[in-house]
Amino acid sequence: MLWDWEENLLNQLNCSRVLSPGEAQAAQAPADSPHWLLCAEDWLLPAADTPCVAYSFRMDGLDDDFLKTVLGLGCEVHSFDPSSSRASGGYRGNSLASNHGDGGVVSVSQHKMWLEWRAPRKRKPGTRSNLGSVSQTLADIMASLGHHTVHFLYADLLSAEWRIFQNWIESGTLQSVHHLVVRIHLQWAGFEVGGTNEEVLRYWFSVLWGLQASGLKLVHSSAGEGHNVLKQTVANTHSSYILSWVNTG
């Protein structure tokens, strides 16, 4: 029997104040269910004197609401997209810029690259990775940009998320991510994931359990369109979900 995702994606942390898509001011959770929410409890947000860093991994420029929110928080924002539609000019930086509280203007730095889940090739001692590479692990990207922490991370990885999550769990990278908004895809097993339906479901569950064991707590889930799971139509579930997590570890 296919996994009933609706019953197993229950919120694990109740937040009295949240940040909704496109908003940078904390408020009570809206009555209607948005695509995602960020927990805005004071103890979970960066301190006023702490540099804030945000990453977005998404193709086709469909992460505007997330970028608006983290720009409004004054974060240093990096958008990663290997597609040609966002590779040229300053589209993202020009269309989404925000006046920070100190009078400065912050915008989004664009990178034409994607996430890798395989272990990186060994480099010579003393050398740093090249951020211009087509794909790199999250740990290498953070090292290349000089970041020890990513406060807000948004990812829609088009079914590569399962192996990438596994890499984050096994490498310990998740310890450096404070808020995580991800879309999981259930239509098929995902890149480099195989086996029977039961084996795939057990693998998916083990990955979600690994996220939780890494300190992540689910604060919001939103179902996507369709009811196709592992190429089968299932009435009690959906083809994708957007999950909002916060790291309490």
Residue 118 confidence (pLDDT): 86
pLDDT digits (tens, 9 = 90+) for 225-238: 889 999 999 888 89
Confidence tier at 12 by pLDDT (50, 70, 90) = confident
Hunting for tokens 């569950």 — which residue is that?
A: 205
Q: What is the pLDDT of residue 131?
A: 57
Radius of gyration of the CA atoms of the chain, in A:
18
pTM: 0.87
Q: What is the pLDDT of residue 93?
A: 41
Per-residue pLDDT tens over the stretch 84-131? 454 433 334 434 555 554 444 568 999 988 899 986 655 555 555 555
For residue range 154-205, list pLDDT tens digits in order.
999 999 999 999 999 999 999 999 999 999 999 999 999 999 999 999 999 9
Whether the CA torsion 30, 174, 8, 117 is positive or negative: it is positive
Please name the fold of domain 5-120+130-247: Rossmann fold (3.40.50)
The per-residue b/e assignment along 116-135, b for 16 or more CB within 10 angstroms, e otherwise, is bbeeeeeeeeeeebeeeeeb
**Residue 177 backbone dihedrals phi, psi, to 5 degrees:** -110, 125
Given pLDDT bands bounded at 50, 70 and 90, which one contains residue 153? Answer: very high
> Structural domain boundaries of the chain?
5-120+130-247
Q: Please give the biggest Cα pair distance in the chain.
A: 57
Mean predicted confidence (pLDDT) in 1-5:
53
Q: What percent of the chain has pLDDT over 70?
A: 80
Cβ atoms of residues 75 and 151 within 8 Å = yes
pLDDT in tens, 31-47: 888 899 999 999 999 98
Cα–Cα–Cα angle for 53, 58, 59, rounded to 5 degrees: 140
Strand partners, 98: 106
Question: Which pLDDT score, from 0 to 100, does residue 249 have?
Answer: 78
Question: The tokens of 1 are what?
Answer: 């029997």
Cβ contacts of 220-226, under 8 Å, gap ≥ 24: 220/11, 220/18, 220/33, 220/36, 220/37, 220/244, 221/9, 221/10, 221/11, 222/33, 222/34, 222/35, 222/36, 223/6, 224/183, 226/187
Q: What residues are paired with 80 via a beta bridge?
A: 57, 111
